[in-house]
Structure formats: C-alpha cells, structure tokens
Structure 1
C-alpha cells in the first residue's frame, strides 16, 4: 500500500504544485488589477475583472513596444535608472534572467545548445549566449596571443537558477541540434526530465560545426 500511495503522490504532486503556482500568480494579478480599479472609483467590479484588466494592460504595453519612439523613450528611461549602482545591479540581473527564459524565437535561436569537452573526456551541456566576447575580454586575450574566436557559454546548474559562464573557443564546441527549452529543462533537472522528443530520438550532434 505504501508503494501505491507513493506512486500516486509522485504522479499528482507535479500537477498539483503547477496548478497551485499558476493559481497564486493569477490571484495576485487579479488583486493588483482590483486595486487599480478602486483607484479610478470602481469599488464593486465583477469577478475576475482585475485579472482581465492586467492582461489588457500587458497587451497594450506589448503593442506599444512595437513602436520605435516608445522603445527609444523607454531606453532613455532605462539608462537613467541604471545610473544608480545598486538599482543597476538588481535591475540588470532581473532583466538578464527574463531574457534567458524568454520564448522569443529570435532570442532562443541565438542561444545555441553545445557540448563542451572536459579534461576527463566527459561533456557538459551549455548554451552559447552571444556571438563574441566583450571588447575588454577580447583585448586581454589578444595580449596573451589568444587569437582564436571565443564565445561565452552558460553552464546551467541543476535545480538552481544560477549558472557558470565560461569563455570557450568556437573550435572546441560541439553544436547540438537540440531546442533551447528542452536542453534547459534537461539541465535544470539533472537529466531527470525527458520530453517526448527526447524519449523518441537522441539529439543530433554536429562536431565542430557552426549553427545554421
């Protein structure tokens, strides 16, 4: 009986926690929207109106940021905010994390999944986060006669948001035809998570190749 109960818990727990998390987020957004409605004098809104209001505002904001002048103005505001050191650190970290988990096809396409060979003939899964290194880093490498092409590679830590960023020669990377989302889930769960595609076929490996 204990095994049966344990099996039931393990099956239902991920779904229950996921539903609870999304319900909590939705309830928080609804309360925030209700607070906004009260500010404009609407004290008895209909159920769920706060959540609808927040989604509508997010939609409007998303549409607004497709207009160049809005993007330019926001960039100027962002530059002013980043003049404060502590705020710059916190804001920058949150922005970078949001960019990392973004599902924008253009951004995820840039995060190429790669394998990095270790000294003991093992491999670590990583993600190329940019096509080149910062200028200061490139200049430092050139002073040490490192003229190869280098790129930053993020090594995600299992069960944590944190990761380690390494600078790796492009020639030493093995590019993998593996979607960023599936590779990230594999990294975050230490390989315990397997998507349907992963179970049906192994990711294709292209040694020393560059992404299409």
Structure 2
C-alpha cells in the first residue's frame, strides 16, 4: 500500500505542473483567439478555423506598432494617449497599465535589477527588484531612496518599499531566476 501511495504522489508531482501549464496555454489560446475571433466567426460561419483570431490579433498589433513610427499613425497614437490620460478614473487605470507594460517590454525594464534588503534591526534579508531609482521625482524628501518591489511567495502580489540607497545591495543575479526563487518560496535554485 505504501508503494502505491508513493507512486500516486510521484504521479501528482509529474502530472500537476504539466497539466496546469497545458490548461493555462489552452485558456490563453482561447482568450487570444476570441479577441478578433468572435468578430470573424459570424462572418466566416463554418469556414472559421480556430487560431485565425490569434493570427489577426498579432497582425493588428504589429501594424499598430508600425503605424506608431509613421507621422500620421504616430500622431493618432499620441492623440489617443493624451485623450486617455485626461479622462478621470480612466487616466489612472490607463497609466498603471501602460507603465506596467512598458516596465516589462519597454526599453527601460523595471525588474532588471535584483535587490537584497536587510530588514532593520535584524539579520534577515529579503529579495526584491529595483523599480525606480528616482523616488525623489515622486516626492522630493525621498530623493535618497529607491523603490524596491518585494513579491510575495506563491502569488502574484507584493509590496513596494521606499528604502535608503545605502540599505540596498544590488545582486548579480538574473531577474528571472530571482523571481522564480521568490515565487517558489526559495524551493528553486539556479
């Protein structure tokens, strides 16, 4: 009986990560396909092939990126950007989403520097990511502080601390490796 339980646990350890990844990829596929696919399905009827929505979404996003580099297209993008930045409530949501996307995909990636922070009065340390080295731009009295985002283990949440520069040590560690280490509760390593 003990051997069977051991095999069952090993099966779970193999199946659950693979199953969850396949399930998440499937759900992501359905979501991305539905973005434009829901518009195309009634038009194409039985000729609709799953995946056309994703292909069209990718093409549309690429064309939008190309247009943003052109004079007229760039002017339209800047106009929409300014418009969204002036509407109450929408501007807050828009700026948070825009800044977050730019921090991951833009030229200045926010999660590129891994920080080691010693908790005051203890020898305990925590890992985080430098998200802003110019906190003084936000609030002048904090011009000697940096913003460090500390993710929480086993979830996609975290806390942003404003810490004096001298209390932060930058580690020579890939941000991806540090994120895996933090989110797994320290169970993964390089």
**Structure 2 length as normaliser, TM-score?**
0.81
Task: Quickly say closer, same or farther: Cα 1:123–1:20, change in 2 above 3 A.
Answer: same
Question: What is residue 178 of structure 1 aligned with on the other side?
Answer: 173
**Structure 1 length as normaliser, TM-score?**
0.73
Distance 1:74 1:42 in 2: 30
Distance 1:78 1:171 in 2: 37
Question: What is residue 150 of structure 2 aligned with on the other side?
Answer: 155
Task: Quickly say closer, same or farther: Cα 1:13–1:121, change in 2 above 3 A.
Answer: same
Question: What is residue 8 of structure 2 aligned with on the other side?
Answer: 5
Count matched residues.
185
Compare the two structures and name the one with the higher helix fraction: 2
Task: Quickly say closer, same or farther: Cα 1:49–1:81, change in 2 above 3 A.
Answer: same
Task: Quickly say closer, same or farther: Cα 1:171–1:90, change in 2 above 3 A.
Answer: same
SS at match of 2:153: coil
Task: Quickly say closer, same or farther: Cα 1:72–1:134, change in 2 above 3 A.
Answer: farther
Distance 1:154 1:166 in 2: 6
| Cα offset, 1:30, TM superposition | 2.0
Distance 1:45 1:27 in 2: 18
Unpaired runs of at least 5, structure 2: none
CA contact 1:117–1:124 (8 Å) conserved in 2: yes
Distance 1:51 1:29 in 2: 5
- Match status 1:188 vs 2:190: no
RMSD in angstroms over aligned alpha carbons? 2.6
